[in-house]
Amino acid sequence: MTDAPEPLRGLTAEAVAAARRAAGWNEIAPPGQRGLAQIARGVATEPMFLLLLVAAGVYLLLGDLGEGLLLGAFALLTVALVVWQERRSEEALRRLRALGAPQARVRRDGAVLRIPARELVPGDLLLLGEGERVPADAVLREATGLAADESLLTGESVPVHKRPALAGEALDGLQPGGDGSPLVHAGTLVVAGHGLAQVRAIGGATAVGRIGGALASIDAAPTPLQQELARLVRWLGAGAALLAGLLVLWWGWQRGDWLQGVLAGIAFGMAMLPEEFPMALAVFLALGAWRLASVQVLARRPAAVEALGSASMLCVDKTGTLTENRMRLRRLVAADGSELVLDEGGELPEALHPLLEAAVLASRRGATDPMDRAIVATADAARGMAEHLHADWLLVHEYPLTPQLLAVSQAWAGPDGAPHVAAKGAPEAVADLCHLPPQRLAQVRAQVEQLAAQGLRVLAVAQGVAPPGQPPAQAHDHDFTWLGLLGFEDPLRPSVPQAVAQARAAGVQVAMITGDHAATALAIARQAGIDVAAGALTGEQLAALDDAGLRAAVRRVRVFARVQPTQKLRLVQALQADGEVVAMTGDGVNDAPALKAAHIGIAMGVRGTDVAREAAAIVLLDEDFGRIVGGVRAGRRIQDNLRKVMTYITAIHVPIAGVALLPVLAGLPPLLLPAHVVLTEMVIDPVCSLAFEGAPEEPGLMERPPRPLHERLVGPALLVEGLWQGGALLAAVLGSYVVALQSGLHEDVARTLAIVGLTAGNLGLVWLNASGGRGLRAVGSGLRAFGWVAAIATGVLAAAVLVPWLRAVLHFAVPPPGALLAAVAAALAAVAVSALVHWWRVARVASR
């Protein structure tokens, strides 16, 4: 039996190397990445940078060259910090794109390989199947029912049917679109059938390359949370600009010093701007997606990182997700009732030869389908089967599986030209092909139930007689004879029971949706620890339910069997209507609507089709269910750390804005100048992405219910806690400043004490929020980063106080040791009070 003529073995390694030297890589252009110049231009339009430049200009107008140059240096340092942060995000996204790069199946040196699509060269033999995106322009050498959606190139959404190229056929000048073409084009989608094609053009030489089309692997569109924070920052920015403008007018009107008023307004405006919100979120989402990739979960859309932590229902396929997808043919049951439990390489009784022979004829060698591979491997290994493999027969027609008939039939021609037909598929479908009488059908159903109850996946096999002449249009036109049943064993992954238990402990329900027999599904579900108390709901029963009935059913049932891919969408919608946050796995073309409709669509990275991967927000790289649960854990950790950093940013801006505004309104000497705001910001920016992003998960992370999707990540409770923490620190810092002034100390000494206290309190707030008040060890991998930032901040502040020219530029003075300790103690006492309030709130919530 041969699927391809012998010459179609593909390129050798030497031929591939030579073709690559001549044609290069199969890529149109690398995904857009912002360079250093682009990032720097973006920073130059940021309000903080512009305010720094204005402040530097004012100081120069006042003749204060030192402060002007210092603020200019701070402006450059701000650019450097933002560029560093964005490069981290860009690098994480670049790595994600590499993980999500499209793959191609090729035949090289007679072996079928899966390679990155960019490694294709002209002359390569491509294997194309339903749901795959064509990775290069190619000419078909073999095709069975192949149709492609070429709307990317033609604008026509109707699929066009393809045929193999004729010997010596002229191909130049053929354009995309229209039925009957032997050409397939890069970027188009195979929607039916399969084929073998030879690559003609790659990269920029393809049809899509010539018009500059490209498909992105990672979608970096802004998430709802990013949009929400952007709106918040715009409102706060507008408010800061308004209040800063009023402060300038008030200062100039009351004191007649307009330039100093401008400086006071700039300091207040800089203190009010929470520009860290969008930066922290962008870094967290990019690095969070990279952390998910480390547990084999590829987040194609940043919104998936947000949503994963809220998942309340995981709807998973059985084969390859809960099981190992290592299908093995375990049982043979012939039509006469004789049965055999197979051992690898064992001898097969003669009575079972026809059953396995027909199963091989109904399968494809080199296929990706695990059952086809298991059948062929068993036949090749079984002694006495060599004469039944028919290596010299030619495949003349294939009847693919359809939603109406869940069976595959293949027609072959022997050396004498005699036709032979074999079919395999769902037992009820093959029984329909064989027109079994009711009594025999009842016997078959009993045999199927018995095999399925053992956790075996069951297929039926039949052989047929073809009518004379051309192959008929449909499989039903053959006269089929029932040959028996095949039972396949696919072991449960060892990690699944523990992962299911973890998910249930975390308040996440697990539902199995499979095309398998109900008894098989229930047997595997029991082994996995999935709730089977309500039994299984079959696709036939599902179709008979109205929407209200289905919503009632999904509240109880956790096993869905004999489900068609198109029915998955109804299940997703029913679960969502019942208030669940749904994560759905899928791998086929018909799964795409359900994957798009689910809150979190999860495509299979190995056996999933390209269209499924493009519809999904997440790609499961190794298809292990435990990875999904690991993704939920990582998603919850990312959500927690985002909440922590948002609380911190809110908290630290309260004392910064307060000490910039309140002393001025009270008639006291200005406490905070623009340079002091920048000094504080130099601590905030790196801390946000280092200490907080690296913070470990909270205790009991997977023992609490998921966060409702409608609950805001940055909600009123978080803002209130941030305002409380910031208010306590503001009171301590202002208290130190006022006491110092009333004690007769110079205003530069009082300013120094206040800013030292503010810096100490700032670091204390980092500890409190990053650790949840659980000690420095709880800061986790962010502890080293926190230590470096604290050491640098302390060193810079010490230099600002002890180096004479810096001290003069910043209007600092060396304070008395006792007063210095008192200012630091007051700030840390404010942090301690905030920690006590935090612990009290946590204890109160835990006691409910």
Written as one string, the DSSP assignment of 483-503 is EEEEEEE-PBPTTHHHHHHHH
User: What gap in Å lies between CA 436 and CA 417, rounded to an integer?
Assistant: 29
Rounded Cα distance, 362 and 628, in Å: 35
Higher pLDDT, 290 or 34: 290
- Of 134-148, 519-533, 622-636, 778-792, the one with minimum mean pLDDT is 778-792
Q: Give the pLDDT mean for 42-50.
A: 55
The strand order across the sheet containing 407-413 reads 339-341, 328-334, 479-489, 457-465, 419-425, 407-413, 394-399
Candidates 575, 618, 611; CA nearest to 593 is 611
pLDDT (0 to 100) of residue 706: 86
Torsion of CA 66, 71, 77, 82, to 10 degrees: 180
Least trusted range by pLDDT, from 207-211, 503-507, 795-799? 207-211
pLDDT of residue 112: 87
Distances (CA, A) of 568 to 33, 513, 747: 37, 8, 71
Alpha-carbon span 317 to 625, nearest angstrom: 9
Structural tokens at position 831: 């942090």
- Of residues 444 and 392, more confidence is placed in 444
The two tokens of residue 64 are: 């204060």
- Nearest C-alpha neighbor of 394 from the set 375, 411, 373: 411
Q: Which one has a higher pLDDT value, 688 or 245? A: 245
72 and 676 in contact (C-beta within 8 Å)?
Answer: no
718 within 8 A of 647, measured Cβ to Cβ:
yes
Chain segment 165-191, per-residue pLDDT in tens:
888 787 877 777 777 889 998 878 887
- Write the pLDDT tens digit of every residue in 345-369: 456 788 888 898 999 999 888 766 7
pLDDT at 549 over 90: yes
Give the closest residue to 690 by CA, choosing from 245, 158, 81, 25: 81
Give dist(CA 355, CA 786) in Å, integer: 68
Binning pLDDT at 50, 70 and 90, where does residue 482 land?
very high
**Which secondary-structure segment (H or E) carries 549?**
helix 547-554
Task: For residues 631 and 693, give the distance between their C-alpha atoms in angstroms, rounded to a whole number.
Answer: 16
For residues 361 and 389, what is the distance between their CA atoms, to the nearest angstrom?
8
Q: Which tens digits make up the pLDDT trace of 364-378?
A: 887 667 788 889 888
Q: 137-149 and 125-129 as β-strands: parallel, antiparallel, unpaired?
A: unpaired
Q: Quote the pLDDT of residue 18.
A: 92
- Tens-place pLDDT, residues 33-43: 555 566 556 55
Average pLDDT across the chain, whole number = 79
Choose the weakest-confidence range: 163-167, 267-271, 282-286, 454-458. Answer: 267-271
**pLDDT over 60 (residue 66):** no
User: Is 60 exceeded by the pLDDT of residue 569?
Assistant: yes
pLDDT above 90 for 735: yes
Q: Are strands 313-316 and 457-465 parallel, antiparallel or unpaired?
A: unpaired
Condensed to tens digits (0 to 9), the pLDDT of residues 102-135 reads 788 899 988 888 888 889 999 999 999 877 888 8
| pTM assigned to the model | 0.68
Q: What is the H or E stretch that residue 397 is in?
A: strand 394-399
Give the tokens for residue 520: 């098989």
Q: Rounded to whole angstroms, how far apart are CA atoms 99 and 289? A: 11
CA distances from 159 to 60, 187, 188, 535 (A): 69, 14, 10, 40
> What is the reported pLDDT for 444?
93
d(CA 395, CA 537): 38
Cα–Cα separations (whole angstroms), residue 404 to 130, 276, 361, 401: 17, 56, 22, 8
Reported as half-sphere exposure (CB side, CA atoms, 13 A), residue 754 has a value of 33
In contact, 138 and 200? CB cutoff 8 Å: yes
Average pLDDT over residues 735-740: 94
Integer Cα distance of 512 and 585 in angstroms: 10
Please state whether beta strands 103-108 and 125-129 pair in parallel, antiparallel, or not at all (unpaired). Answer: antiparallel
Find out whether 410 and 362 touch, Cβ atoms under 8 Å: yes
- Calculate mean pLDDT across residues 746-775: 85
User: With 0-12 CB in 10 A as exposed, 13-18 as middle and 19+ as buried, what is 67?
Assistant: buried
The token pair that represents 558 in the structure block: 């956790």
490 is catalytic: no
Distance CA 20, CA 199 (A): 13
Distance (Å, whole) CA 419 – CA 785: 73
The string of pLDDT tens digits covering residues 430-456 is: 999 999 999 999 999 999 998 988 888
CB 765 within 8 A of CB 686: no
Question: Is the dihedral angle over the CA atoms 699, 702, 708, 714 positive or is it negative?
Answer: positive
Catalytic one among 124, 317, 516, 640? 317
* pLDDT for position 500: 92
% residues pLDDT > 70 (the chain): 75
The C-alpha atoms of residue 654 and residue 721 are separated, in whole angstroms, by 12
Specify the pLDDT at position 361.
92
In the prediction, which pLDDT does 574 show? 93
Does the pLDDT of residue 77 top 70, yes or no?
no
CA proximity to 705, closest of 594, 521, 845, 550: 845
The residue type at 829:
A
In terms of pLDDT, which residue wins out, 791 or 77? 791
What pLDDT, on a 0 to 100 scale, did the predictor assign at position 820? 94
User: Does the pLDDT of residue 462 top 90, yes or no?
Assistant: yes
Number of C-alpha atoms within 13 angstroms, CB side, residue 711? 13
Judged against a pLDDT cut of 80, whether residue 333 lies above it is answered with: yes
pLDDT in tens, 209-239: 765 543 334 444 454 565 666 666 667 667 6
Token pair for residue 432?
């329909």
Looking at the predicted structure, is the pLDDT value of residue 19 above 50? yes
Look at 283-287, 321-325, 719-723 and tell me which has the smallest mean pLDDT. 283-287
DSSP codes joined into one string, 312-350: -EEEE-IIIIIB----EEEEEEETTS-EEE--TTPBPPG
Higher pLDDT, 251 or 539: 539
The residues, any chain, with a CB within 8 Å of residue 15's CB and separated by 6 or more, are: 123
* Averaged pLDDT for residues 606-616: 65
Examine the pLDDT at 153 and tell me if it is beyond 60. Answer: yes
Q: Where are the beta strands (DSSP E) in 371-497?
A: 394-399, 407-413, 419-425, 457-465, 479-489
**Cα 702 to Cα 700: distance, rounded to the nearest angstrom:** 5
Give residue 108's pLDDT: 92
pLDDT band at 318 (very low <50, low <70, confident <90, very high): confident
Please tell me what DSSP assigns to residue 32: P
Give the model's pLDDT for residue 557.
95
**Distances 666 to 251, 572, 723, 827 between C-alpha atoms, Å:** 12, 60, 22, 21
Provide the 3-class DSSP secondary structure of residue 424: strand
Tokens standing for 162?
A: 């393809």
